[in-house]
Amino acid sequence: MKINKTSEGSRKTDISGIIYLGIMVVMVMCCRPAWSDTWFVATNGSDATGSGSDASPWLTISNAIGHSVDNDTVVISSGIYALDDQLVVTNGITLRTYNNDRAKVVINGNNYADKLVTNRCLFVNHTNAFISGLTFSNGVVNIASAFGGGAILIMTNGTVSNCIITWSKAADGGGVYMNKGGLLLNSLISYNFVSNSVFPSGRGGGIYINTAGTVVTCRRLLK
């Protein structure tokens, strides 16, 4: 029986080419950058009809966070955003202001009436979570088991940068409570206090660090 060597060689070449192509596909899939989206929020937006785009923003920050996954960015336009409940960031997303002016985007815990409820502004717990250029105000924690941080609770991980944290209160860490980690940098901490009338053992009117946490180049104003 005569063997067609040319055909056999071609077959080997074809197989080698398929293997090479497969390896290249795997390498591309592994090395390509992660996909990410940018979502927009504005006081004139709509959660019902908006798409989260710059031209059609959402109304609430919580809705934008709910649509976000790791590597996404939520861009918040100027205005006051009153909260019914704390914002919760537990994935690797970025929250930032639209125009980089931290005084123009106010996340308001809506505690003007001094309600006996927990209405912290922000809870964050993820290594790659990045919060930048926002004002957090009028947050409160009046429940002893809820940790502290009237404005912000950093639970182990997360970065808060270039923010204003003001007029908030809690048992510990009236402004910020850092629990075993996290990074707070380039921020203004002003007019926060511990609610000693509710919890006599309150500690850290501006910032309370439980075990670990890093604070860099922050400025404090006292009431």
DSSP sequence for 109-161 = ---TT--SS-B-SEEE--TT-EEES-EEES-B---GGG---SSEEEES--EEE
- pLDDT higher for 131 or 141? 131
- So what's the pLDDT on residue 129? 98
Handedness of CA 212, 222, 138, 56 (dihedral sign): negative
Segment 93-135, tens digit of pLDDT: 999 999 889 999 999 998 755 555 568 999 999 999 999 999 9
- pLDDT higher for 140 or 80? 80
**pLDDT at residue 37 tops 60:** yes
HSE-up of residue 32 (Cα within 13 Å, Cβ side): 9
Closest CA to 61 of 146, 127, 122, 141: 122
pTM here is 0.81
CA distances from 55 to 39, 40, 104, 177, 217 (A): 11, 9, 20, 36, 36
- Say which residues have a Cβ less than 8 Å from residue 145's Cβ, sequence separation at least 6: none
Q: Angle CA(208)–CA(209)–CA(210) in degrees, nearest 5?
A: 115
**pLDDT at residue 27 tops 50:** no
- So what's the pLDDT on residue 99? 87
pLDDT-based confidence at 221, cuts 50/70/90? confident
CA distance 213 to 152: 13
